[in-house]
A = this chain, B = another copy of it.
Amino acid sequence: MPINPPTDFKPNPNLKRIRKGLVIINTGNGKGKSTAGFGMMLRAWGRGMSTMAVQFIKNEKSKYGEQMAAEKLGIEIIPSGRGFSWTSKDLSEDEALAQNGWKLAIEKINSGNYDVIMLDEITYPVTWGWINVDEVIEVLKGKPEMLNVIITGRDADPKLIEFADLVTEMKEIKHPYADQGIPAQKGVEF
């Protein structure tokens, strides 16, 4: 049987060996966007690199599995949102929270103290106009050269996709909530 090696495992000898920090986007309507970002952070942690995340949507008061893990590992995950805003009566407060998160993210990016930073679900406040996409790109342009930045969330702005180095769409093929009435499972999905 013929074996087709996946290209991502096949080194291309003609490539120039450029090392630089990447801007990585995980977008799409499927699962795994934040989870893969979190896996990258763990990988970096495994190599003794320095990593942190700002979460733009997750509720400040919630305890998610990744926050519990991060706490145990000494990885900083800063939640700056209150959950998705249709539950909020005062949207302007959500907007202020998102903008505070973004200010904090800028400080962290420019600090030079990190190898990997995740801006988790930042696409939503960008889509809603709470964070300016051109400003995000300006900040990413000026980031420390070796810093990797992971951006997650649905509907990533086309300008962000154009600017990023590595973009993956997580596409929902089958989902147990819709198909079988199964709620999100503790431990794997949150």
Contacts and interface: CB of A to CB of B under 8 A. Distances in A.
In the complex, the count of this chain's copies comes to 2
Interface residues of A, number: 91
B166 A176 contact: yes
A85 interface: yes
Contacts of A175: 8, 166
Interface in A138-158: 148, 150, 154
Interface string A154-165: 100000010011
Interface in A162-190: 164-177, 179-190
Given A6-B84, A11-B183, 17 more contacts: A1-B129, A6-B154, A12-B177, A15-B181, A20-B182, A35-B35, A42-B65, A42-B69, A46-B65, A47-B65, A148-B185, A165-B179, A166-B174, A167-B174, A168-B170, A168-B173, A169-B171
